[in-house]
A and B are shown apart, each in its own frame.
Chain A
């Protein structure tokens, strides 16, 4: 009881101090942070210097297939590193506008430790705004901004046997795990089932990784390359053939939503418990769970009112469009960033009504709260302040 009181006091002092500093900055330079006031003055001379995000230099761009490229980035000293399997938000400027997307790191942690270098592997998304531009236009020797590494899709500490299942570019976080020291010695059995349509990116790298382990007399990595055009999608047979003891493995799934849901259902039906399964959604379809919830809960038209300082705009939704999409169709020009619920650029205040979080499928409370528009789908009539 006493300690918690003390903590609260500390917390309050801290908050007061922050507020005082913010006020002082606002007073002296009309900016809540001194750093961001000086940023545009310093950056022309020190391009690595940044206040909110970390700057990284593009050192190499190489094409893996005709629509997949890999980008090598030299990170700044300040960047705090990553756990294999994590992703970063990459921010770049397109026609003067900052745009943010999330990409998994595909390189080894050891390379970063020795050379401060990371690699991202990016597939062009049809109809995407950023990825086609990145692929056609990203130049070596320019700077991009990156965030701290994020994400829970990482290897646990237990030396349990692993089963990795990847589809397409879903291989990127997994190849980072496989090539980093963490999995090199203490795990006995590792299997990788890798689905792709005709072309498996990183096939050579995976094979040489497996060979290297063999040479070092480490337990092997068993690679299973599945061509979905010939062998179809995941099935119990396929699973049993590749990895007979899959029930005892810790499973890591990475790929599009459909593949993950299918695989998860299959594993769970075979008695694999939920906490044995880790997953990371890749690609554009991430809304499966939510779509189910929503289609059950509500298909009727819903009224969304966007209140701004100047005016109120009413929009009727009879689809699964997010608040951000609704605001954009109403030409309200909301600010946004990653569009996947990570960067909080599109935060706004929900005054009332229920929205469904498209990532978790969970409905919100009915009262006032801060929400992210890009992952909120109105479940009824909603009042929004933007």
Chain B
């Protein structure tokens, strides 16, 4: 392990103490899962319908922009809404297997495809498995900083980090592409130096999936729909681009608020060897942060505003997180674990602060551990 003196990682609770934390959270999970049924099936079907209707109406409205520009504006807004719902409340959650209990061939984690540049199958592997298992373990969770940003002292400072605020802005605008590319780049799919790790999907598979999905998405938004709009080619093309960018900014912002707020902790690989389930829970709670808001806000974030609950219970239907969060907060309090939550403005401000803070080298920090706590 290099640069231990800069280590910002946090100690996990002892295996003994972790038992009672595990018990509390497992009970909460079981209580919630016993309620899952018709309500959840109806809910996700409703979301699917809203996603599709707003997409269809949005695309048509955009073409009607020749009658009045407001139609175009409305169209862009609806298409962006559709893409946001499709990616977050529907896609992300369905692909986590939250709704597999429905036995519905079209709302199934094995088959679902989302309106996003990332190939679903590859994403499922990296996100569900790597990010959710190794959350915030430096060197294992590729989503920590996406290989582009230095967001803790676990990584040594380099000159390029000085410009990382600009990189962050660019990443947000191109978020879907950044994520799609980065997941593969991390596996050296595009480089000649191959990763020796054995994987379910070979580098060839991943590469083929990336290009075929990217091609399909580009064809849809920048060739097919603009072309059938005839004389409205350019407005539709720009509208689609704008809708994609709005979705990118929104998802990027919400996700950064979930993992890169000021008080989110990081961990080392050594720490997490032979981790107990209770310690895993502890790490998930320290590695995530919530955003408070109204119901519509939670829905638009795909309930990733309840990132802590999502990381504790990734396969519980997400619309139940808001209710669960009250009990999770009590459990956190009982076990003396910080529960990182706040309004959107507050949380996002600390994200920006963190991105800027680690753009620059830090003075060595003596408190090996709870630097970021409380």
Contact = CB atoms under 8 A, between A and B. Distances in A.
Real binding pair? yes
Interface of A: 23, 26-28, 30-32, 36-41, 44, 52, 93, 95-99, 307, 309-311, 333, 335-337, 345
Contacts of B86: 30
B200 A309 contact: yes
Contact of B103 (A37, A39, A97, A309): A97
Nearest to A335: B103
Contact of A27 (B40, B48, B56, B220): B220
B220 A98 contact: no
Contacts of B110: 335
Contact of B38 (A26, A36, A44, A95): A95
B52 A40 contact: yes
Given A27-B224, A96-B38, 19 more contacts: A27-B216, A27-B220, A28-B220, A28-B224, A31-B113, A36-B106, A38-B52, A39-B106, A41-B49, A41-B56, A96-B37, A97-B37, A97-B102, A310-B128, A310-B129, A310-B133, A311-B129, A335-B110, A345-B105
A96 B104 CA distance: 9
A41 B111 CA distance: 19
B48 A40 contact: yes
A102 to B, nearest CB: 16
Given A27-B219, A98-B103, A309 B128 contact: yes
Given A28-B224, A40-B45, A335 B108 contact: yes
Contacts of B258: none
Contacts of B154: none
Nearest to B115: A30
A31 B106 contact: yes
Tell me which of B52, B215, B219 has the highest count of chain A C-beta atoms within 10 A of its own C-beta.
B52
A284 to B, nearest CB: 21
A41 B53 contact: yes
21 contacts: A23-B212, A27-B224, A30-B86, A31-B106, A36-B106, A40-B49, A41-B56, A44-B49, A95-B38, A96-B36, A96-B40, A96-B102, A97-B101, A98-B104, A309-B125, A309-B200, A310-B133, A333-B101, A335-B100, A336-B103, A345-B103
Nearest to A36: B106
Contacts of B102: 96-98
Interface of B: 36-42, 45, 48-49, 52-53, 56, 86, 97, 100-106, 108, 110-111, 113-115, 124-125, 128-129, 133, 200, 212, 215-217, 219-220, 224
Contacts of B125: 309-310
A311 B132 CA distance: 13
Contact of B216 (A23, A37, A98, A309): A23
A30 B49 contact: no
A52 B105 CA distance: 10
A40 B220 CA distance: 22
A44 B45 CA distance: 11
Contacts of B38: 93, 95-96
The 3 closest A-B pairs by CB, nearest first: A96-B41, A95-B37, A27-B216
Nearest to B99: A96
B5 to A, nearest CB: 36
Contacts of B124: 309
Nearest to A30: B113
Nearest to B36: A96
Nearest to A52: B105
A52 B104 CA distance: 11
Contacts of B216: 23, 26-27
Contacts of B106: 31, 36, 39
B103 A99 contact: yes
A181 to B, nearest CB: 37
A26 B113 CA distance: 8
A37 B56 CA distance: 11
A40 B128 CA distance: 27
Contacts of A93: 38, 41
A36 B110 CA distance: 16
Contacts of B53: 41
B19 to A, nearest CB: 20
A279 B313 CA distance: 49
B49 A333 contact: no
Contacts of A36: 105-106
A347 to B, nearest CB: 11
A335 B105 CA distance: 9
Contacts of A27: 215-217, 219-220, 224
Contacts of A52: 105
A98 B212 CA distance: 32
Contacts of A41: 49, 52-53, 56
Nearest to B121: A309
Nearest to A51: B106
A130 to B, nearest CB: 12
A97 B40 CA distance: 10
Contacts of A307: 200
Contacts of B129: 309-311
Contacts of B219: 27
B167 to A, nearest CB: 29
Contacts of A28: 220, 224
Tell me which of A23, A333, A335 has the highest count of chain B C-beta atoms within 10 A of its own C-beta.
A335
Contacts of A337: 103
